Amino acid sequence: MDKSREKLLHDDDVVEVVDGEEVQERGRSGKKYSSFSRFILFLSLAANFVFLLKNFSHPTLGPVSKSKYAGLTNDVDIPYAWDTDRSNPNDTERNALWYEDGESNEGILAMDYEEAEMFGLEKSQPWPWDKKKSIHITNGHHNMHCLRNIYISINEYSQGIPQSLERMHVLHCLGALYDDIKCNADDTPRFTHKVGLRPGEGQIRKCRDWSKLRAWVKERDGCFKYIKHDVKDISTIERMKYCSNDSKYLPKIRKFFGYPEDWTPWPYVEQVDYLKKEDE
Ligand SMILES: *[C@@H]1O[C@H](CO)[C@@H](O)[C@H](O)[C@H]1NC(C)=O
Ligand SMILES: *[C@@H]1O[C@H](CO)[C@@H](O)[C@H](O)[C@H]1NC(C)=O
C-alpha cells in the first residue's frame, strides 16, 4: 500500500494522511475514526462555533470593547516578541532608546474640569495657564515613566556609576508596575514549546494603538517637559511651559516668566536659572 505519511501532531497523538484520506491513530492502538467519534467531533465544532459567535457579538468583551476615556479598542494585531530594540545587547543603541526617549515627557493632561467631572474623575490640581483645566497623567504613561526609571537604575548599577534616582522612587515604580499587572489580570494563554523556551513568541495578540493614546493626550496638551530631572528644588511650573510653538497660552507663559515677545518653547534651550520650589 502506497502510504504518504505526514505527522501533523506530536508523537503520541498522530494524524496520518493516507492517500489523501485522514486517519487518526490513538497512541499505538491504531484505532480509526468511528462514526461515534465523528459525531463527537461535529458536536465539539458546533459548540466552538456557538462560543465564538457569542463572544464576538458581545459588546463588552475582547476586541470590540472600548476604553473608558480615550475610547481605544484592541484592534491592532501585534505578535509577542522575545527580543526587542529595548533589549538590544548593544549598550549604545539600547541606551539611546531608553535615555533619549521623548515620550517619557508625555502623558501629562490639561483636562477641562467639565470633562474630568463627566468621567467621574477625582478633583485634580489646577493647570497654571487656564483655570478651567486640571492636571492629570495617564496610567499608561506613568507606567512607561516608571519602567524608564527602573532601566536607568539598572544601567547605572551595571556601569558602576552612582544612582541618579532615589531608591524609594525606583521601589515605588516596581510596586506600581506589580500592582498594575495584577489589576489587568491579563488572561491571554501564551503557547509553549516542549523545550520550554520562549512561550508565545510570535503569537498574535490584539493591542490598543499607543499612537492613538498619544494623540488623545496631545489634544489636551499639558505642556510638560521633564527638564532637570536630577534637580530637586526646581518649581514644577518650569516644567509646564513646553506648549507647542503655536499654543494660545504662549503670551501668558511669556508674561509669567518675563520672556521677550519672540520667545518660543521649541527648540528647547537648556536653562541656567530656574524658579525654585520655595519661590512659589
Ligand atoms: C553598537 O552600536 C553602535 C552604534 O550603532 C556601533 O557603532 C557599535 O559598533 C556597536 N557595537 C558593537 C559591539 O556591535
Ligand atoms: C518653534 O519656533 C521657532 C522660532 O520661530 C523655530 O525656530 C522652531 O523651528 C519652531 N519649532 C517647532 C518644533 O515648531
Pocket of ligand 1 (CB under 6 A): 90, 92-93
Say how many Å lie between the CA of residue 96 and the centre of ligand 1: 12
Residue nearest to atom 13 of ligand 1 (CA): 90
Write the CB contacts of 210 (distance below 8 Å, at least 6 apart in sequence).
140
What pLDDT, on the 0 to 100 scale, is given for residue 58? 44
Q: Using the mean position of ligand 2's atoms as its centre, give its distance from the Cα of residue 245 in Å.
A: 6
Separation of CA 148 and ligand 1 centre (Å): 22
Cα angle for residues 217, 115, 68 (degrees, 5° grid): 65
Going by alpha carbons, the residue nearest to atom 7 of ligand 2 is 267
Q: What is the residue with the minimal CA distance to atom 14 of ligand 1?
A: 90
Closest CA to 12 of 32, 24, 23, 28: 28
Residue the block writes with cell 475610547:
71
pLDDT in tens, 136-180: 999 999 999 999 999 999 999 999 999 999 999 999 999 999 999
Say if residue 267 is preceded by a cis peptide, omega within 30 of 0: yes
C-alpha dist (Å) from residue 249 to 129, 130, 262 = 7, 8, 14
For 89, how many CA atoms within 13 A lie in the half-sphere containing its CB? 1
The answer to whether residues 225 and 239 touch, using CB atoms and an 8 Å cutoff, is yes
Give me ligand 2 centre to Cα 263, in Å: 10
Ligand 1 nearest atom to the CA of residue 91, by list position: 1
Can you give the pLDDT of all 280 residues of the chain as single tens digits? Answer: 444 333 333 333 333 333 333 333 333 444 455 666 666 666 666 666 555 555 554 444 445 689 999 999 999 999 999 999 999 999 999 999 999 988 888 999 999 999 999 999 999 999 999 999 999 999 999 999 999 999 999 999 999 999 999 999 999 999 999 999 999 999 999 988 877 678 889 899 999 999 999 999 999 999 999 898 778 899 999 999 999 999 999 999 999 999 999 999 999 999 889 999 877 6
How far, in Å, is the centroid of ligand 1 from the Cα of 94?
10
Centre of ligand 2 to C-alpha 68, Å, is 35
238 neighbors 274 (Cβ within 8 angstroms)? yes
- Of the ligands numbered here, which is closest to the C-alpha atom of 263? 2
Interval between CA 262 and ligand 2 midpoint (Å): 11
Pocket mutation for ligand 1, best pick of 90, 97, 100 (most atoms within 8 Å of C-beta):
90
Best residue among 105, 264, 268, 269 to mutate for probing ligand 2, ranked by most atoms within 8 Å of CB? 264
Helix 91-99 vs helix 139-159: angle between axes, to the nearest 10 degrees?
140
Residues within 6 Å of ligand 2 by CB = 245, 264, 266-267
